[in-house]
Structure 1
Amino acid sequence: MSNKELFKEAHKMAKEIKKEYPNVDYMFQFSLCLSCLREEGIEEEKITWEDVAKAAEKAVDNLGYTDYYVKNWVKGEYNRSYVELRWYHKGKCKATKQCGYWDNNKNEYVVDSKFTKNYNVFKL
Structure 2
Amino acid sequence: MRKRSPAAERHAELIHIALMEAAPAGLPLKRLMGACELSQYQTRSGLAALRDMCGEREWPPLIWTREAGYHFAASEQELEAWERVWISEKLTQFRRMITGTLAPHLALYPTSRWANYLSTQIRAVEASLEMAASQTS
Shorter-chain TM band: under 0.3
Which structure shows the bigger proportion of residues in helix conformation?
2
TM-score (norm 2): 0.25
Between structure 1 and structure 2, the one with the greater Rg is 1
Higher relative contact order (CA 8 A, sep 6+): 2
Which structure shows the bigger proportion of residues in strand conformation?
1
TM-score (norm 1): 0.27
